[in-house]
Amino acid sequence: MKYGILKLAGKIGVAEVAIENTRRNPHIMERIALYKYDEQRLQQGDLMLIRIKGITVRWNKAQSEKLLATNALHAVVKEAKTVYGKTRRIARVIFQNQEPQRRALALNGQSRRILSQWLEEARQFYTNALVDPEVIRQLSNYGITATRLAEEKNLLVEVEKAMANQEKKAAEAMEITGERKLAAKELVQWMSKFFTILRLAMGKSQMLEAVGIRVK
């Protein structure tokens, strides 16, 4: 068994069995005591397992929150892009021969694909449209009133909030992932030493099978 390549759940399971079965076997306990491995030493492994399980609970929660935040961001971006796309297409038709308005409303060229750039473009469109009575008048002829423009602009605020929340949750998930990896690495190191001591203490004894060590 190559303990280090196991998935984390496997590492935890093997460690639990190895420590508990060692603890329950007086003969093994007697032999490893020669190497200063006693109940107190086994409790170090117990504490590592408790810690990594706690981190894993937090990790699962962080991953769930990150996914929810990502889904929420995608939903609000989709909504904002849909309404902005329709309004922008109408504006491009209205102002196709009015270059000053086209520049002011960022209507030249295709809409940006990168979210941050798209957000800047849309913000420019709504901000400049709402302060220009002539733009509002012409858009109103197609049912796009100042009230509608303001409502659509508010969706950009929701996008910004969702972006900030998604970035926060992603950062939290990354931090806990790092903590979990470190805890897993420490467990692997501890178990590697423990298995080495068990092999030294027990030799080819079949008792090692009970603690997860295959005897050839």
The 10s digit of each residue's pLDDT in 60-81 is 999 999 999 999 999 999 999 9
Does residue 112 belong to any structural domain of this protein? yes
Task: Indicate the pTM of the whole model.
Answer: 0.84
Q: How many domains does the chain have?
A: 1
Does residue 34 belong to any structural domain of this protein? yes
pLDDT digit string, tens, across residues 5-14: 999 999 999 9
Cα distance between the two ends of the chain = 12
Looking at every residue in the chain, the average pLDDT score rounds to 94
Crossing angle of helices 133-140 and 146-202, in 10° steps, is 90
Query: What token pair was written down for 96?
Result: 């196709």
Q: Residue 1: which pLDDT band, with cuts at 50, 70 and 90?
A: low
* Neighbouring C-beta atoms of residue 133, cutoff 10 Å: 9
pLDDT digit string, tens, across residues 43-55: 999 999 999 999 9
Range of the domain at 164: 3-211
pLDDT digit string, tens, across residues 86-139: 999 999 999 999 999 999 999 998 888 899 999 999 999 999 999 999 999 999
Q: What percent of the chain has pLDDT over 90?
A: 88
Q: Rounded to whole angstroms, how far apart are CA atoms 161 and 165?
A: 6
Does residue 202 belong to any structural domain of this protein? yes
Does residue 216 belong to any structural domain of this protein? no
Question: Which of 103, 181, 168, 172 has the alpha carbon at shortest distance from 135?
Answer: 103
Cα 201 to chain centroid, rounded: 43
pLDDT for position 160: 97
